[in-house]
Amino acid sequence: MTKLLLIDHNALLHRCRNALLKTGRKYTTSEGIPTTGVFSYLQTLLSIIDQQKPTHVVVCFDAGGNSRKQESTEYKANRKPLDPDFISENRTLLNEGLYALGIESVGLKGYEADDILHTFSHIAQFGIDKFDEIVIATVDQDLLQCVTSKTKVLLWNSSKKQQLMDEEAVVEKWGCEPDDIRFIKALSGDASDNIKGVKGVGKKTALKIFKESLGILEHMFEHPKVKGSEQQVLDNLSLVNLKLIPGEIGPVNFNDYVIGLGMLDDWEKFLVDYELTGLAKRTAKISKLMKLRSAEMVG
């Protein structure tokens, strides 16, 4: 059985790092290099891999140059500037931590990680190398749009608070099919991304309009609450709709993402360099989980 685990990198790093900072814990090396997010992220990532037992793992990250911000200056304008420590820790993870574990990361300037995750899940389901199961680990409900008969979304808040969402769970939570969440958000807006909905239309009203319109956009425009706001809905739909970008990503060779490409020496050096003693105590377990190779094995 083949199972692809897709990681929403930036969202998971934010959640893991902030969870520790809120408790007053902040880690640095003896030289002052910040590692709070590095430690908590890797601990969570390894926990998810241990739980899900994937055969392949891909980490998807935001590479900057968000095209949606060119469509709307208000999009995510409510977000605070990135903490310099976050930027430093993010680079450490992408350049060293994930490499040591043998996990490849994928980012594409101009596109959000959501678009890359959506594209990889689509290729994994309908491409040449079809996977038996795909799981997207995130904290972002936008990615529930990706849920299909083969793709599930693991909404991760903490090890004790998580939910694996399949099609049935999405319908129960949202009242519509995964692919139709975009219409609900286009009508009601999304405060987390600073997307304003149609005046007087909340999530419940949006769902009612959607169902009465049989999911047909032209019929939604005829609804009294939506008339006059057609362009706003279209603009919102463009922002919330996940993009499929296989042409921009290029050919995907899933052999590059199989578990077992990391080197034990690289992992041990990484732990020493960043003084991650909590993870070092579990080196044997982590080595077995990630199938880390020793120099002798590949020599």
* Angstrom distance (rounded) from CA 146 to CA 143: 6
Residue 169 has a pLDDT of 97
Q: pLDDT category, 79, cuts 50, 70, 90?
A: confident
* Predicted pLDDT of residue 40: 95
Q: 208-247 pLDDT, tens per residue?
A: 999 999 999 999 999 999 999 999 999 999 999 999 999 9
75 pLDDT more than 70: no
Cα–Cα distance measured from residue 62 to residue 91, given in angstroms and rounded to the nearest whole number:
12
85 or 298, greater pLDDT: 85
**Mean pLDDT taken over the chain:** 93
Backbone angles phi, psi at 102, to 5 degrees: 80, 25
Per-residue pLDDT, 245: 95
Bigger pLDDT: 127 vs 137:
137
Q: Where are the beta strands (DSSP E) in the chain?
A: 3-8, 56-60, 104-106, 133-138, 151-158, 161-165, 189-190, 195-196
On the question of pLDDT at 299 being above 60, the answer is: no
Report the C-alpha gap between 61 and 111 in whole angstroms: 9
- Tell me 158's DSSP state: E
**Pair of tokens at residue 164:** 């694996």
Average pLDDT over residues 111-140: 95
Mean pLDDT of 145-150: 97
Q: What confidence tens digit (pLDDT) does each residue in 149-204 have?
A: 999 999 998 767 899 999 999 999 999 999 999 999 999 999 988 999 999 999 99
Cα radius of gyration rounded to whole Å, the chain: 21
CB-based contact 135:153 (threshold 8 Å): yes
- Mean pLDDT check: name the lowest of 47-51, 159-163, 281-285: 159-163
Predicted pLDDT of residue 67: 79
Q: How confident is the model at residue 73 (pLDDT cuts 50, 70, 90)?
A: low
